[in-house]
Structure 1
């Protein structure tokens, strides 16, 4: 397993953690969401704080999604010794629309960069003599 293969899941997990932090540090609407009881608290598009509520929820959901992708990638690497190329494609496909729609200021650029790194890592063959680390069940 090469260094790039080991670092891609770490970078995805770090990005997920940054999403969690930003979901609660940015000007957010968690107090309003909790005050309204959570249920259907982001459906009123006419509400004055609609965009703050929506951003709060989407940063949290994106963090969970990235965390799932990163930990699953780590598991796949430990099991097979390789990073699947589709992980890189998923990240690129997620990041490009963010870059296009929110150009130039967006967090989509790091997602695209990590996706490209994942594609590069997936192209590298397992070297002769390398062993696959197995996960104890």
Structure 2
């Protein structure tokens, strides 16, 4: 029950960890990007800098998970349960990523998705 009631905060933690790892792993890319100037510097003169593109979207994904986690936690705090479909979506996403990149944090989404998909049984109120 503890983990279910805090699924949103767990997703926030995954997003923060993702952003931190992205900053550490792409520090050199970000430094070169900064030297080039940020404005319109991923694609210039028909040349696409895929390293900068990947670094950007790595951070966008992490921030998106932080926001989704916060929203999920608000939902849990107000309603007591989250939609099982969100858990299933996180599970499927985690499995797809784990299939192509087994040594990754995708397994965190598998575990979190399973926990969210099967919410604890709520006692039925006597009517």
- How far did residue 40 of structure 1 move? 3.6
The TM-score with structure 1 as length reference comes to: 0.75
Distance 1:27 1:9, change over 3 A: same
Dislocated runs of 4+, deviation >4 Å: none
**Aligned-partner Cα distance in 1 for 2:21–2:30:** 12
| Residue correspondences, number | 121
Q: Over aligned residue pairs, what C-alpha RMSD do you find?
A: 2.0
Equivalent in the alignment of 1:31: 31
Equivalent in the alignment of 1:118: 116
Q: How does 1:1-137 map to 2 (within 5 A)?
A: 2-28=1-27, 29-43=29-43, 44-45=47-48, 47=49, 50-51=50-51, 53-102=52-101, 104-121=102-119, 124-127=120-123
- How far did residue 106 of structure 1 move? 1.9
Q: Which protein is richer in helix relative to its size? A: 2
- How far did residue 63 of structure 1 move? 1.0
Task: Give the SS at the match of 1:73.
Answer: helix
Distance 1:12 1:36, change over 3 A: same
- How far did residue 128 of structure 1 move? 5.1
The TM-score with structure 2 as length reference comes to: 0.80
Report which stretch shifted further, 28-37 or 13-22.
Answer: 28-37
**Aligned-partner Cα distance in 2 for 1:26–1:65:** 19
Distance 1:8 1:90, change over 3 A: same
Distance 1:86 1:39, change over 3 A: farther
